[in-house]
């Protein structure tokens, strides 16, 4: 394993509901990160091509509106299939720039949308994906739930790479599963831009004794299409998401960020020897686990609704 890795976290907003324009933003920001020497770049949750902050999709308990169905149709059309020409373009960006990229996308599969993190490698290929296990609150209107078959960890020259999306980070058993897989570079694409998020990331890093890279969008009303009826209002400069991206050490120290209310690319050199230094007195899935008392069972089998035999 190499001794250091230069990691970057991108904080900017999607070109909402526009796949091609958003992929252009991915390429632009990946180039900027690569120019600063980054080897790994993390983008926010649902970056391709929208986290629909403030939309209600016309839903109340027991009722849906035609306008809400049209909003969903637009969202569905701006999602991407995996694999597809769009995921291939993301892989090409990673390959052209010799980067590992972790990025949030809205994945379309059949009639269902999933909040997914894609992993792209410097060889220019899709390494794999993680589908968010538990959409939060109103997200459940428009996203399906992933299953245990997409909980990957990838061996890289700089350690074991994984991702946990937004409020999955509040699921203790989810975190424990990732720690047991040996995650060392823990990516946390998110839409949570509250002040409480950074302490959560510090806790995760300290608990898992891993580096945590969290990316959140800086998104304004002008990044959304004209028809977008968010509850925040229609002033083009209205902030829909204010960021808060950060990079945290395995001892919970803030290495970069948090940054609010502006676009930015956070870059930091991670000393990978800090991983072992941090495990000296605490290994949550090792010498601190007490497996004689506590044990977690993780089902990683795919759970299709129909099985043909």
Catalytic residue (one of 45, 139, 168, 207): 45
Quote the CA–CA distance of 188 and 213 in Å, as a whole number: 6
Catalytic residue (one of 107, 129, 139, 166): 166
Q: Is 306 helix (H, G, I), strand (E, B) or coil?
A: coil
Distance from chain centroid for Cα 296: 24
Say which residues have a Cβ less than 8 Å from residue 187's Cβ, sequence separation at least 6: 42, 102, 117, 161, 162, 163, 164, 212, 213, 214, 215
139 catalytic? Reply is no
Catalytic residue (one of 132, 139, 187, 210): 132
**Alpha helix segments (H runs only) across 61-188:** 66-77, 85-97, 172-180
> Alpha carbon of 280 to those of 180, 209, 240, 251: distances in Å?
17, 10, 42, 11
45 catalytic? Reply is yes
Using omega within 30 degrees of 0 as the cis cutoff, is the peptide bond preceding 133 cis? no
Per-position DSSP letters for 209-258, written without gaps between them: TSEEEEEE-EEEGGGS-TT---TT-S-TT-EEEEEEEEEE-TTS-EEEEE
User: Which residues, listed in sequence order, are joined to residue 116 by a DSSP beta bridge?
Assistant: 105, 131
**Alpha helix segments (H runs only) across 41-116:** 66-77, 85-97
Among all residues, which ones are annotated catalytic?
45, 132, 166
């Amino acid at each position: 394993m190499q001794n250091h890795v230069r990691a970057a976290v991108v904080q900017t907003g999607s070109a909402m509901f526009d796949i091609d324009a958003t992929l252009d933003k991915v390429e632009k920001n990946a180039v900027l990160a690569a120019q600063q020497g980054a080897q790994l770049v993390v983008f926010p949750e649902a970056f391709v091509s929208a986290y629909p902050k403030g939309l209600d999709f016309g839903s109340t308990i027991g009722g849906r509106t035609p306008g809400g169905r049209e909003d969903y149709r637009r969202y569905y059309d701006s999602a991407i299939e995996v694999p597809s020409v769009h995921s291939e373009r993301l892989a090409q960006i990673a390959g052209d720039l010799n980067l590992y990229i972790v990025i949030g996308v809205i994945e379309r599969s059949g009639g269902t949308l999933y909040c997914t993190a894609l992993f792209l490698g410097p060889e220019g290929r899709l390494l794999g994906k993680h589908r968010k296990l538990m959409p939060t609150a109103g997200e459940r209107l428009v996203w399906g739930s992933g299953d245990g078959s997409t909980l990957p960890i990838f061996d890289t020259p700089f350690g074991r790479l994984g991702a946990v999306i937004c409020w999955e980070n509040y699921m203790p058993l989810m975190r424990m599963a990732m720690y047991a897989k040996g995650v060392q570079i823990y990516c946390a694409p998110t839409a949570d831009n509250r002040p409480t998020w950074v302490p959560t990331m510090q806790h995760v890093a300290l608990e898992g004794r891993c580096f945590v890279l969290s990316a959140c969008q800086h998104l304004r009303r002008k990044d959304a299409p004209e028809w977008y009826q968010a509850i925040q209002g229609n002033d083009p400069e209205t902030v829909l998401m204010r960021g808060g991206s950060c990079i945290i050490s395995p001892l919970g120290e803030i290495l970069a960020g948090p940054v609010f209310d502006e676009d930015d690319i956070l870059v930091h050199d991670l000393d990978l020897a800090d991983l072992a230094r941090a495990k000296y007195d605490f290994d949550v899935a090792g010498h601190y686990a007490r497996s004689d008392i506590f044990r977690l069972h993780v089902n990683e089998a795919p759970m299709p609704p129909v099985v043909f035999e």
